[in-house]
Amino acid sequence: MNSDTRTELAFRRRLALLALLHKRPHSYDKIVAALDRDGLFVYDHEDDEAAIARLQLYQFRNDLRTLRALDYQIKFDRKSNCYIWHNSPFGLYLDETQLSSFALLLDTFSNSTILHAADAHALLTDLMKRLPAEQQEAVRGQRRVFSIDLHEATDYRKADPKNLKQIALANQRGQQLEFMYCTPRDGVERRHVIEPSPLKFEREHVYLRGWSLEWEMELRFRLDNILPSTAKMLHKPIVRNRPAPSPYLLHYHLTATIARNSVSQHFSEQKVEKHPDGSATITAHTTDLFEARRILLSYGENCTVLGPPELVKQMRTVGAHFHKTYPTPDE
């Protein structure tokens, strides 16, 4: 083999090494295997394995010295046992707006206890390492003008891992899910079999929704009220295209104190009728009277529920409870 061929192979081998490392870090064994498959090492195939391995190591080390001399920052990470190309031109480089958004996400998941927050933070931290040094400093030193408070009322880092695994499997495979649930209202433990939907974070908690086989309607369960290690994926497929729950027509009035400037949209198909005194009458649709009651009660004395009758009845019950609990001094 002439020297020109050796030089050409070394050039191609170094390009192939860079191509491998720009995608992701690689161990020495995987690098050598990939380069050898492409026939980029120089050795006699009649040699024994030990001799071939020594020649491959020699050429690899020589390639590293050459590339490092050209300012390719390829370093060995002892923790991962991999070689990493730290200043790859294929790495991240963000503009000012992207840097601000990146810093926002990093802050949001730094102290969050929501499900998968640790995974999200680990990903963002890894991406941070891929930024140029000056951009890493810019992220650390950036003054925040906006923040997202997820405001978790439960520390989901303590969520039962077995339940989470079974819920995920049931969703991924489209199978029914069985579990025991302790209702906060009465503390009674009940067995449920549902066709699950993906977990969802809302109103400070993570909820599991699903079609109940027993009740023939969609129910909602707070994740931390599912008894530990009771969730189990059943080998029964879910039925596709369950009928959507019938919506209720909401009808309520807001005083000018709330409606004078604008009315927040909490429900679907919302329509607002503004009145000369600044108040407003709203019509909308909902499939969840519990959630509608929670939202409308938050307006306090500035909201009057006009319909549907089921919700008006619930509000009367709440009103009677408040009247009994908080009597006036004369009563």
CATH number at residue 204: 2.30.30
Asked whether residue 81 falls in the same domain as residue 38, the answer is: yes
CB 203 within 8 Å of CB 223: no
147 in any annotated domain: no
pLDDT band at 93 (very low <50, low <70, confident <90, very high): low
Distance CA(208)–CA(145), nearest Å, equals: 34
At 113, which amino acid appears? T
For the segment 128-145, the average pLDDT, to the nearest whole number, is 84
Asked whether residue 252 falls in the same domain as residue 212, the answer is: no
242 in any annotated domain: no
Asked whether residue 68 falls in the same domain as residue 123, the answer is: no
CB 312 within 8 Å of CB 250: no
Asked whether residue 7 falls in the same domain as residue 81, the answer is: yes
Asked if pLDDT for residue 92 goes beyond 80, the answer is no
Asked if pLDDT for residue 154 goes beyond 90, the answer is no
* Alpha helix (H) residue ranges in the chain: 3-23, 28-37, 49-69, 96-110, 117-130, 133-141, 161-173, 256-259, 289-297, 309-325
On the question of a cis peptide bond just before residue 308, with omega within 30 degrees of 0, the verdict is yes
Tokens of 6: 């050796």
Distance CA(301)–CA(319), nearest Å, equals: 11
CB 275 within 8 Å of CB 220: no
Q: Say what the pLDDT of residue 1 is.
A: 44
Distance CA(183)–CA(189), nearest Å, equals: 7
Asked if pLDDT for residue 24 goes beyond 80, the answer is no
Tokens of 321: 């409870």
331 in any annotated domain: no
Q: Output the DSSP codes for 196-207.
A: E---EEETTEEE
115 in any annotated domain: yes
301 in any annotated domain: yes
CB 277 within 8 Å of CB 253: no
Q: Looking at 210, 237, 264, which one is the last position of a domain?
A: 237
pLDDT band at 321 (very low <50, low <70, confident <90, very high): very high
Asked whether residue 76 falls in the same domain as residue 122, the answer is: no
For the segment 303-307, the average pLDDT, to the nearest whole number, is 97
The region of weakest confidence among 79-83, 197-201, 307-311 is 79-83
Structural domain boundaries enclosing 26 = 3-85
Tokens of 104: 């926002």
Asked whether residue 233 falls in the same domain as residue 254, the answer is: no
CB 223 within 8 Å of CB 207: yes
How confident is the model over 173-227, as pLDDT tens digits?
999 999 999 988 888 999 999 999 999 998 889 999 999 999 988 899 999 999 9
Q: Say what the pLDDT of residue 331 is.
A: 59
pLDDT band at 32 (very low <50, low <70, confident <90, very high): very high
Distance CA(208)–CA(188), nearest Å, equals: 18
Asked if pLDDT for residue 166 goes beyond 50, the answer is yes
Asked whether residue 105 falls in the same domain as residue 80, the answer is: no
For the segment 228-235, the average pLDDT, to the nearest whole number, is 96
Residue 330 is given by DSSP the state T
Distance CA(331)–CA(328), nearest Å, equals: 5
Tokens of 253: 């009035």
Mean pLDDT value across the chain: 91
* More confident site: 283 or 240: 283
Asked whether residue 226 falls in the same domain as residue 254, the answer is: no
For the segment 3-29, the average pLDDT, to the nearest whole number, is 87
Asked whether residue 219 falls in the same domain as residue 254, the answer is: no
Instruction: Work out how many domains the chain is built from and give that number.
Output: 4
pLDDT band at 2 (very low <50, low <70, confident <90, very high): very low
Asked whether residue 179 falls in the same domain as residue 227, the answer is: yes
How confident is the model over 260-288, as pLDDT tens digits?
989 999 999 999 999 999 999 999 999 99
pLDDT band at 105 (very low <50, low <70, confident <90, very high): very high
Distance CA(223)–CA(320), nearest Å, equals: 31
Asked whether residue 12 falls in the same domain as residue 33, the answer is: yes
Q: Say what the pLDDT of residue 274 is.
A: 95
187 in any annotated domain: yes
Distance CA(250)–CA(257), nearest Å, equals: 20
For 223-287, strand residue ranges (E) read 232-237, 248-254, 268-274, 280-286
Distance CA(250)–CA(29), nearest Å, equals: 66
Q: Say what the pLDDT of residue 257 is.
A: 94
Residue 178 is given by DSSP the state E
Asked whether residue 130 falls in the same domain as residue 177, the answer is: no
Q: What residues contact 106, with CB distance under 8 A and at least 6 apart?
A: 121, 124, 125, 128, 139
Task: For residue 329, give the 3-state DSSP assignment.
Answer: coil
